[in-house]
Structure formats: C-alpha cells, structure tokens
C-alpha cells in the first residue's frame, strides 16, 4: 500500500514533466518560418557577395595585365 501511495504522490508530477518534455521537443523540432527565410536570404546574399568579389578581382587582374602588355608594346 505504501508503494501505491508513493506512486500516486509522484505520478502527477512525472506526467507533467513528461508532457512538458514532449511539448518542448516538438517546439524545437519545427523551425520558425521567419528564421528559415532569413537564413536562406543570408546564404543567398553571401553567395552573391562572393561572386561579385571574384568578378571585381578578375576584372582588376585583366585590366592590370592588359595595361602591362600595352605599355610594353610602346
């Protein structure tokens, strides 16, 4: 009988704790759509930034190289 009283005493707290654990796990499982959209936009922006930097470096190198070639032809 003592065992059943102990189970009755702690079963509500254990059930509440388990329910909170399940609820919090499901809350973390679903990513906020706004956060997902922001992360996708940031990733796209970083990719575009890298492409622009590579393009600027390439144009600068071509301009410098062509300038050296034309100056050596004089």
Map out the domains of the chain as residue ranges. 34-74
Six-digit token string for 69: 């070639």
Report the alpha-carbon distance of residue 34 to residue 69 in Å, rounded.
52
Minimum mean pLDDT range among 24-28, 43-47, 63-67: 24-28
Q: Which pLDDT score, from 0 to 100, does residue 32 have?
A: 85
Confidence grade of residue 31 (pLDDT, cut at 50, 70, 90): confident
Six-digit token string for 24: 């919090």
Q: Which pLDDT score, from 0 to 100, does residue 24 have?
A: 54
State the alpha helices, DSSP H only, in the chain.
Answer: 2-29, 33-72
């Amino acid at each position: 009988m003592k065992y059943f009283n102990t189970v009755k005493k702690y079963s509500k707290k254990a059930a509440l704790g388990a329910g909170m654990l399940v609820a919090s796990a499901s809350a973390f499982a679903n990513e906020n759509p706004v956060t997902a959209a922001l992360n996708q936009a940031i990733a796209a922006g970083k990719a575009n930034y890298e492409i622009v930097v590579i393009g600027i470096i390439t144009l600068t190198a071509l301009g410098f190289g062509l300038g050296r070639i034309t100056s050596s032809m004089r």
